[in-house]
Structure 1
């Protein structure tokens, strides 16, 4: 394969997992997850992990590999994904990286800013303070000390606010300045990047329909089981789309119809943000402005064959 690799990127419900599966099946590939929620166990339906049937059709890696009590940083995921890519090449297979988490994809292709490791006491103290004072007060504190990073982050983005604060605490330097440094640790490969960006109306309809199907096929039971674990509210897995709304319903705070409506809206908002990021931040080899369908496969297969046969 000459250390070639594919990236299939797209917003939630764009059909990228189906496309990745077809490409892996056709070209002897290994599907490698690049979705920050799908790395965790506990919510396979709510996070739209591939079914067991799909996973039987081609090798799948990094799906449901971490317990919900852990945190998967971009660096941790990058290291795991790089190892899976090397294993695929050694086995004569084509890595097919698929997901919508832009930071993960960029970390693999380009590397990450050289931020030093944050001591665990600093990390723990940051999350404790956030939990004690709440998002808005924490955002105000961040704005006082690091207005540049605060301006980039919404008060609801607790994970990234905590990250900005802990970096400032541990290094006495803004995360923005670290991000100005050259990136390190990217995987050297011949990349072919496909961005699947359906029209907004079709994408939103797919988001709505898929969430309804999740509820009908067991998402509520998943949320009930994970909520019963009593996890730290700051953990990433609890930010999975629809988790907060369905948990509120199970706690008697929302009726089911309202919870579903709110979760659908949150999913559409997230899909819009993903689309914007992918359209402006990802250097795609090709952009497909459509939902994935079998009718696209002949043209895509032809382009991938040409890519794989091209001499570096």
Structure 2
């Protein structure tokens, strides 16, 4: 039985990411022309390329009347305090509000919560969501502690996301926030029950989703059925489907305790050892004494020692 999908809270100017066709974040391929082309061919959402926070913080925003785009640019200083008169401009990021504002996700390359918030503020009013790159394996990203390197420092990654949620989402009402853990657990349990997921896997994922500081964490990790966890978490709307899934998975039958299983295993081992000993004793008793002595005498002993050979 397919259960209805539960709605999740979405900011007023945010987007629903579920079931969308998107242009994924890619260097060069995520620039403005590619994004507009993807939208023309039916993309629901488009990601810009990874834009490093340091580059954005040194940029200036302006409106280009000819192209009707907003541009964040900076002048190459070549390490000088005052750039030379002939220094060229570099466009760090561009957006076309008329055609992509409600569908554009800005991706930040960052390794610091404060810089991430400052960079996000510069573009928040022109985009539908803020994304943090935590997967790029290229040196230009990982060497600064960004991209995939953030996976090695999960506390830092969480701090960056929390800073964005606490500052950017309330100010601009755009996406990028974290859902309450119970909402995520509710959706995960619903899906696990629907596909009759093995309980061991469901239990492991729940232990990762429910914060360790929550009182319910220990209680849920001690349970052995979907229905028991639903009852503890107060998810009564999943109770009937959970019982059905448990029955199909054989979880509704009484579970033997580990001590009982160990005792049975030990008893079986002792019984098997005793049977083998009795079998050997019976074989020994059936063999006549003369045959037992003969078999011992027939065993080959050590041969005679070789005679010494005189030296030539």
Q: TM-score, normalised by structure 2?
A: 0.27
Over alpha carbons, which structure has the higher Rg? 2
Q: Higher helix fraction: Structure 1 or Structure 2?
A: 1
Q: Which has the higher contact order (CA 8 A, sep 6+)?
A: 1
Q: TM-score, normalised by structure 1?
A: 0.27
